[in-house]
Amino acid sequence: MSPLRGILYKLGSVLVFIVMSGIIKATAAEVPPGEAVFFRSFFALPVIVVWLWWTHELKVGLKVADPMSHIWRGAVGTAGMACGFAALGLLPLPEVTAIGYAAPLLVVVFAAMFLGETVRLFRLGMVALGMVGVLIVLSPRLTTLDPDAVTARESLGATLTLMGAVFAALAQVFIRKMVAHERTSAIVFWFSASAAGLSLLSLPLGWVVPAPKTFGLLVLSGLLGGLGQILLTSSYRYADASLVAPFDYASMIFALLIGYFVFAEVPSRVMLFGASLVILAGVLIIWRERRLGLERARQRKAMTP
């Protein structure tokens, strides 16, 4: 265990994924979401394969115990990615990032519904607080008080972002079940492979032949996607999940910087306030679960003869 290294890997993964999102946003006007999903997934595969070879997991890392679980995880994960990529072309990057924070909150709800996990009153309260924050971020895009201030494009973007968060949360629930019988390396590889394959179903919706610069950016998005997965996985090798999880919210800082300096996006006070509530709720849930985990560990140690 090396907590500092784990934190640095986590921050690296967050930065890489936000840069990748910025690239997808920059190409969204030219490339449809399904095609962007293909590039992001297909060109992540070489990076992941090299990583598996480097870590001597190539022979065993691609074996699966339950193929159907990978198919279902791939389907919901691909749907979430497609919704998120489509939203990036319709809304500012920080806003998409803030609404996406609904995913870990929804995981708490879905884990209780589908996995039978016990959800305490504190967590339910924080989930409610976080969802209030999400609604605050969404409110300017879905309001009926001043219809002229909201375009159909913005409303669609907000809806797609929220749908993406729902699918992402469902994917996390699938992963929680899969880790009991599947290797992490297999989950990472077969998700990219299945997403690349499923994205081909969007071909009839109109793919384009991207310009050389756009093609290069799309390939880079895939390479960064693979690198981000590796950094994320490595962070959990060196530090507890409860320690590195709060650093997910550093993505808002990176999103604000990229949005402002690259896309000239100035966040509103409403968006920042709503995002702050979501981040506060998420951090408090993580803090509470970490304390409970430490308490359970002390109890087990006290009971050990």
pLDDT digits (tens, 9 = 90+) for 137-196: 988 887 655 555 567 888 899 999 999 999 999 998 898 888 888 888 899 999 999 999
Q: Containing domain of residue 238, as a range?
A: 3-120+160-265
Helices and strands counted in the chain (H then E): 14, 0
Q: Tell me if 87 is assigned to some domain.
A: yes
State the total domains in the chain.
1
Q: Tell me if 79 is assigned to some domain.
A: yes
* pLDDT for the residue 298: 62
pTM of the model: 0.91
Q: Tell me if 27 is assigned to some domain.
A: yes
Q: Tell me if 129 is assigned to some domain.
A: no
Q: Tell me if 221 is assigned to some domain.
A: yes
Q: Tell me if 282 is assigned to some domain.
A: no
* pLDDT for the residue 147: 54
Taking 70 as the pLDDT cut, the residues of the chain under it are 1, 143-150, 292-305
* pLDDT for the residue 84: 97
Block residue for tokens 């193929």: 67
* pLDDT for the residue 224: 97
* pLDDT for the residue 197: 96
b or e along 97-118 (b: 16 or more beta carbons within 10 Å of the residue's beta carbon)?
Answer: bbbbbbbbbbbbbbbeeeeeee
Q: Give the relative orientation of helices 250-263 and 93-100 as an angle to the nearest 10 degrees.
A: 160
Q: Tell me if 287 is assigned to some domain.
A: no
The residues, ordered by sequence, that sit 6+ positions from 113 with a Cβ below 8 Å of its Cβ are: none
